[in-house]
Structure 1
């Protein structure tokens, strides 16, 4: 069974700044609640982050995510490679310009690797994604001021 989550968060910072905060993984612990460390495990030096793997230690979990889309400043997409028992995961972060700043639209789809655990994984992501979007918006707004 496929699960999905979608949320929106307004931000007073422009899209380019929001995107730059999002892609600057090494500085995630400065704005992301619970992040102990973050960095690039595998990175391409050709100017795009597509195919790069980022590693984040957050709330006791070690998450590895592969970048699928790096279209600054409006679209960032990734998939969870490891860290939680999901498969067929894809998350898209769209950053749209709007009056007074931007609108962050975060959407994720996935399947559970563990039979019958899909609703639990959905609850885990449903709890963490709004916090991540709010933290991203606050981090961008602080940097903008």
Structure 2
């Protein structure tokens, strides 16, 4: 069974500022509560970060994510490789230009790797994704433009 969730977050910062903050993984602990450490394990393409692998330590979890799409400043996509028991995960972050700033649209889809855990993982992602999108917006709004 495939699970899916989607969230939107308005932001007063322009799309490029939002995107640049999102892709600057080493600064995640500055704006995303619960992130203890975030680093590039493999840098991937120097311009797009496509193929890169990032390690994120958040709330007791150590996750690895692979960058699938890096179209600055409007589209960032990644897949969770390890850290939570999901298969076929893909998250897309679209950052649209909007009057007075931008609109962040964050959506995720996955299958549970362990039977019967899908609803629990879905609830976890459903709770964390709006917090991440909100924190990204607030962090971007604090950046110089």
Q: State the match for 2:13 in structure 1.
A: 13
Q: What is the CA deviation profile of residues 82-120 of structure 1, one whole-angstrom value per residue up to 9, with x for unaligned ones?
A: 000000000000000000000000000000001011000
Q: State the match for 1:31 in structure 2.
A: 31
By how many angstroms is 1:48 displaced?
A: 2.4
Q: State the match for 1:100 in structure 2.
A: 100
1:79 partnered with 2:75: no
Report if aligned partners of 2:45, 2:52 keep a CA contact under 8 Å in 1: no
Matches of 2:100 and 2:56 in 1, distance apart?
31
By how many angstroms is 1:12 displaced?
A: 0.3
Deviates more, 1:40-49 or 1:69-78: 40-49
Report if aligned partners of 1:87, 1:110 keep a CA contact under 8 Å in 2: yes
Q: What is the CA deviation profile of residues 104-144 of structure 1, one whole-angstrom value per residue up to 9, with x for unaligned ones?
A: 00000000001011000000100110000000000000114
Q: Which runs of 5+ in 1 are unaligned?
A: none
Normalised by the length of structure 2, the TM-score is 0.97
Q: Pairwise CA RMSD of aligned residues?
A: 1.0
Q: State the match for 1:43 in structure 2.
A: 43
Aligned residues: 145
Q: Which runs of 5+ in 2 are unaligned?
A: none
Normalised by the length of structure 1, the TM-score is 0.97
Q: Secondary structure at the match of 1:143?
A: coil
Q: Secondary structure at the match of 2:142?
A: helix
